[in-house]
Amino acid sequence: MRILELKLFRNIDLKLLFIILPLLLIGLLTMKSFGGGSDYYFWRQLVWILASLAIFFIFSKLDWRVFKSSGLILSLYMFGVAALVFIFVVADASWFYLPLFAIQPAEPMKLLLVLILAKYFSRRHVDIAQFKHIAVSAVYAVIPAGLIFFQPDLGSAIIFGVIWIGMIMASGVSKKHLAILFTIGLAVLAISWIFFLKPYQKTRINTFLNPYIDPQGAGYNAMQSKIAVGSGGFLGQGIGHGTQSRLEFLPEHETDFIFAAFAEEWGFVGSLILILFFILLVRRLLLLGTKSSDNFVRLYAIGISLIIIGHFTIHVGMNIGLLPITGLPLSFVSYGGSHLATLFAALGIWSGMKFSSRTPEAEEVYVS
């Protein structure tokens, strides 16, 4: 019996998994090479990968239409907002700490935002020209983004903005409304800088413009990251020979700066290979978004792609000195379970959509 005929692998897009597998291996190899006499990150991440793969299989079996046709997604969204309020007001942290692991509610909230916006825009596709619908969708994004911003977690708050703006544009908003949104966005940025950004966040932006104004303080991370990337050269220092991470000059090399740690060991060529796999991944996801005749499916695929694109752009950008340090993991590569488990849940839903929403217009994506 062929593997595709096995019940276990129904609704499973194996090509998608084969694209993700090298990214997971890159992350594990990079963590294994840190040295220090401990493989703590390696083994913990391996456990998270296995658990996340199980989540992927479970979510691929769910009937995704329940998110489209019932009030379940709104209930889950409200529960997620309540969790964010709890950790903001009561716990004064960004995590729920459990005996064996910690959960970052901001991560599953990104998936919930994609689902609720996909449902909202798919039902009001012909009415998107009315600004009130854009305003309502903004409320869905601003509530969790605001709570996360004040935790403070600027990086994740930006991702919520990326999701909303990208899905707004995919919904067919007019150029006039885009101009209005752009103007409002500039005003919000100015107000945030004056009234809401904390001193250390402003310092990060200032040191991004000139890290040498505080090389031993706020500019340290950015400088060490660029040193790591630059020392990798064309072919890299070799696995286990990245001095910036092994000697711990590079901070948080298992999470926020794992691209720099990888680039030091694998060089320019390895970095290009990593980028290629992300391009293949996003292309695979967007095939469903561009070919499906179901607006909910199309918008969902675009939304999930935006999460990955946003994380990749910000993470790599801050690692090579093109963006300020905000602290975001590199999807499938960085250490951590909340982001990884959320992504695999999202991709499980995507895979279920791919094999259960076939249309004549979308046939190409199901046979490719």
Inside any domain, residue 222? no
Q: Are residues 244 and 290 in the same domain?
A: yes
Q: Does the structure show a pLDDT above 60 at 55? A: yes
Q: Are residues 69 and 49 in the same domain?
A: no
Please tell me which residue, 96 or 194, carries the higher pLDDT value. 194
- The proportion of the chain whose per-residue pLDDT surpasses 90, expressed as a percent, equals 46
pLDDT band for position 209 (cuts 50, 70, 90): low
State which residues form the domain around 253.
Answer: 1-62+228-368
Q: Which of 12-16, 168-172, 201-205, 298-302 has the lowest mean pLDDT?
A: 201-205
The answer for 184, left when phi > 0, alpha when psi is -120 to 50, beta otherwise, is alpha
Q: In degrees rounded to 5, what are phi and psi of residue 197?
A: -65, 130
Inside any domain, residue 286? yes
Inside any domain, residue 175? yes
Q: Are residues 76 and 18 in the same domain?
A: no
Q: Are residues 49 and 121 in the same domain?
A: no
Q: In degrees rounded to 5, what are phi and psi of residue 257?
A: -125, 30
Inside any domain, residue 254? yes
Mean pLDDT of 104-126: 88
Tell me the average pLDDT of the chain.
85
Q: Does the structure show a pLDDT above 50 at 219? A: yes
Distance CA 114, CA 367 (A): 26
Inside any domain, residue 155? yes
Taking alpha carbons only, the member of 347, 241, 227, 331 closest to residue 288 is 347
Helices (H), the chain: 14-32, 40-60, 65-69, 72-86, 106-123, 131-149, 154-170, 175-191, 199-209, 220-231, 243-246, 258-291, 295-319, 338-356, 363-367
Q: Report the range out of 72-76, 96-100, 132-136, 198-202 with the highest average pLDDT.
A: 72-76
Mean pLDDT of 272-286: 97
Q: Are residues 6 and 129 in the same domain?
A: no
- The proportion of the chain whose per-residue pLDDT surpasses 70, expressed as a percent, equals 85
Q: Last residue of a domain, which of 151, 178, 197? A: 197
Q: Last residue of a domain, which of 177, 197, 217? A: 197
Q: Last residue of a domain, which of 181, 197, 213? A: 197
The count of structural domains within the chain is 2
Distance CA 217, CA 236 (A): 28
Distance CA 315, CA 257 (A): 8
Q: Report the range out of 80-84, 188-192, 204-208 with the highest average pLDDT.
A: 80-84
Q: Are residues 49 and 96 in the same domain?
A: no
Q: Are residues 292 and 232 in the same domain?
A: yes
Q: Does the structure show a pLDDT above 80 at 169? A: yes
Inside any domain, residue 50? yes
pTM score, whole prediction = 0.89
Q: Are residues 108 and 234 in the same domain?
A: no
Q: Does the structure show a pLDDT above 60 at 6? A: no
Q: Are residues 56 and 116 in the same domain?
A: no
Q: Are residues 49 and 70 in the same domain?
A: no
pLDDT of residue 360: 44
Q: Are residues 292 and 367 in the same domain?
A: yes
Take residue 330 and report the two structure tokens written for it. 């590199």
Inside any domain, residue 76? yes
Inside any domain, residue 213? no
Mean pLDDT of 27-43: 84
Q: Are residues 55 and 92 in the same domain?
A: no
pLDDT of residue 365: 43
